[in-house]
Every structure is written in C-alpha cells, then in structure tokens.
Amino acid sequence: MTINIPDTDQARVVIIGAGFGGLMLARKLASSNFQVVLIDKNNFHQFQPLFYQVAMAGLEPSSIAFPLRKVFHHRKNIFVRVTALEAVDTEKREITTPLGTLAYDYLVLAYGVETNYYGNKNLEEKTIPMKSVAEALYLRNAILNDYELAITTADYDMRQGLIDIVIVGGGPTGVEVAGALAEMRKYILPKDYPELDCDEIDIYLIQSGDRLLKGMSETSATAAEQFLKELGVQVILNKRVDDFDGEFVLMSDGSRIQANKVIWAAGIKGKRISGLPEDVVVWGNRLKVDRHNRVEGQERVFALGDIAYMEEEAYPQGHPQVAQVAIQQAKNLAKNLRNELKGKAWQPFSYKDLGSMATIGRNRAVVDLPKRHFHGFFAWIIWLIVHLFALIGIKNRLFVFINWVWNYFTYDQSLRLIIRPRIKRHPEGYKVKEQ
C-alpha cells in the first residue's frame, strides 16, 4: 500500500517532522517547483519552549500549537500526512509508515529527539517527561490532582509525597519549570487551597553537574541559581538521580527525597530508524551530516536540527540542540535545493549564534548574547518579546500576550482545570486516548 499523493513531474521532497526545522523548510519550499510532503505524528506544530507554561496552567495548549494545514492554505504543492516514519529504503528511495510507503527524490529527517532515561525502566515508567503538549497537560493534571488529594490527607508524610515535586535536570527546561512552580506556590496555591500550608511544599531541582544551564555562560548560570534560591527552590548540584520507585527519589550518594511526582528533564536522544547505516549514527543517536546537512554517504537523505550532528570549526563537537540551529539549517537547505533546480552550486552551512536565554519567573531571566550577558528584569523583557514573536499566527501571539499581561497584573491564572483523559475503544480494536 502506498500513501496517496498525486503524481507530478516535480521532484518530491519528503520532510519527516514538523518541528522548527521541518516546518521552516516546508514554508521556504512552499512557492518552489518542488512537491513537498510534510509528515508528522501530529496535525499541528507545537512550540516547545512554552510547554512548561501549559504544564503550570499559564497557557492553554491551543495557544502554543498551530494546525499544519492552516499554515499551507492555498499552497498546492504542499501535502500534509499525519503518520510516523518506520523505515527508510535508501536504494529504492522510499519510506515506510503505518499509512504505507512513499517514494522520495529528497528525504529530510527533522523528527527531533526524545527523552533519554539512560536505560532505567523505573525512570522511564514513573517520571514525567515534557517533550509534547500532551505530556505538559498530563503534568498539569498530575499536579492539580495531587493538591486536591493533599487537602483531604491528614497524614503528614503522605501529604508531603503529594505536594513536594522533584525536577531532574538543570538545563533551560528544568530551570524554567522550577521557577514557575515556585511562583505558583507563592501566588496561586495559597488562594486556591487556603486549607493547605504552602510552606510545607518543597521544590527540588537536581543537577548532576556542578552548575545549572550548562550551555550558557557562567554569569547566567550563577544568576539563575540565585533567582531560584530567592524563590525558595532547593537547588542540588553534583548529585545524580539513580532511581525512582514512585514514592522516593534515590540519589547517587544514597540519600532519598520523598515525592510522588518527578519531572524528568535530564537528557535527550535521537530515535533509531531502520534502514539507515549504523556508521552514520553518533553519540545521542544523532545522524552525522556534512556541511550541506546531507547524511554521510547518502546522496538524497538529509537531517536537520536536534537529530543532525554537524562539525564545523567553531563547533567541533556539533551544534547545540536548540531551535535556532534547526531554523538556520532549514533555510540553508531550502536555498540549496532551489539552487539545485537552477544548476547552481550548494552553499555550506555555518551556524550564527544569536544567543540563548531562560526565564525564572516574573521579572527574572538570563540572556546570553554573543558579546553581552543580561539578567533580571531587562532580560525577562527580552525573553518575552523573542518568544512572543517566535509563535506562529497572530491569534496565538495575541492570546499568549493577553495571558501574560493578565497574569502579571493579577498574579493569577484562570486555566487550572483538571482534564482527565477518557479511554475509548476504536472500531479496529486499539485504544485511543482523548484529552
């Protein structure tokens, strides 16, 4: 069975993944003489930097997601298919998906990465990741549901398990989640749960290294740690989480922390795809590519963003796995594919570092620009502006802006809904989860 895509004399570019890189590439090729097939397991693009705000009930999921088909209204050469990549046959130039096979002239792998649990089944099964809107919603439900249970739990130890939270991983995600939780404890929970002594709530951020925000400057890392401590977060450095049994977090020095909820933000890895040679896979399951994003040894297969490992003089260990790398690579690849049609030479990719940032609650953020570092209120304003304009769609930007303004002046959010999934039986027999 083949995926139903109209035949054409245009060369077909198949893009796997509608993240920052895949979506940018499709948009840049939308007016070209290519037939573009964009494949993703969701029918929407999700803005990953704001997942934590969905989890903390600050934003609705629809505010940070945008329907893929809406992006390409009136673009007759763009076709969206909701499915997943299972295998690649580089000799036949075709891919296999649950919907069937599909031939390609150019294949672009931009499917991103997934949570890395380092082979620990307990951590995989019992901690909460945050790599999708659905997982952010699950975390929101878990937090709110446990606070509902806590106000009816008289036993102190049982109550602590319900209200205390551990975040593992001191990167931007872990830092931003810890800051948002601390602000929720300070401003929201005392109003929603006046029967609960919010001083009992402990928030732990555990980082195995000797500093937070490893990819940022020492100045920003120090400022972020200070901001978190001011908010009452217990920052634990130089300790590794070895296990979690659902009630206690076990650390490398033998100490334990009681908590029913552990948010796992401690690592990422690529997904192995059948059909690709083993020798192109490097650390973290990334795919080794040349300066044109071409997978090593493959003439018509490319990789973008987090899944791509590219060495250049300034980045001998590969680029950082951030959105700007994916976006810039996508723009360069789109330009090169257009050049291919015109018979022009391809241009090698060079990453231009535009800076990095993280927010730690209201009026607190850290920003690293190529030649300057900011922290505090001004950095927070920069963070707000950059993330607001990075969202797709005027409507989404407006809704997010309104939510941020409302929250800033009222110290409140109005989205604290527990939305429990229902399980339905599909006519063909498998289960479908509904949020």
Q: Give residue 394's pLDDT.
A: 86
Common-topology check for domains 11-113+270-342 and 121-268: yes
pLDDT in tens, 141-176: 999 999 999 999 999 999 999 999 999 999 999 999
233 Cβ contact list (under 8 Å, min separation 6): 178, 179, 181, 182, 203, 204, 205
Share in percent of the chain as helix, strand, coil (round to 5): 35, 25, 40
Question: In 411-430, which positions are buried (b, 16+ CB within 10 angstroms) versus exposed (e)?
Answer: eebebbeeeeeeeeeeeeee
- For residue range 92-114, what is the model confidence (pLDDT) as tens digits? 999 999 999 999 999 999 999 99
The overall average pLDDT reported for the chain is 93
pLDDT at site 271: 93
Distance separating alpha carbons of residues 284 and 287, to the nearest angstrom: 9
CATH number of 121-268: 3.50.50.100
End-to-end C-alpha distance for the chain, whole angstroms: 31
**How large is the average pLDDT for residues 66-77?**
94
195 is catalytic: no
For the residues 239-246, what does the mean pLDDT come to? 96
pLDDT band at residue 320, thresholds of 50, 70 and 90? very high
Residue 97 identity (one-letter amino acid): T
Token representation of residue 243: 């296990």
The band of 435, judged by pLDDT with boundaries at 50, 70 and 90, is very low
- The residues spanned by each domain of the chain are 11-113+270-342, 121-268
Q: What is the pLDDT of residues 408-418, one digit of tens each?
A: 888 776 667 77
Please tell me the predicted confidence (pLDDT) of residue 395. 85
pLDDT value, residue 58: 87
In which order are the strands placed within the sheet that holds 165-168?
234-237, 203-207, 165-168, 261-264
Q: How confident is the model at residue 75 (pLDDT cuts 50, 70, 90)?
A: very high
Catalytic residue chosen out of the listed positions 176, 278, 299, 312 = 176
CATH code for the structural domain at 11-113+270-342: 3.50.50.60
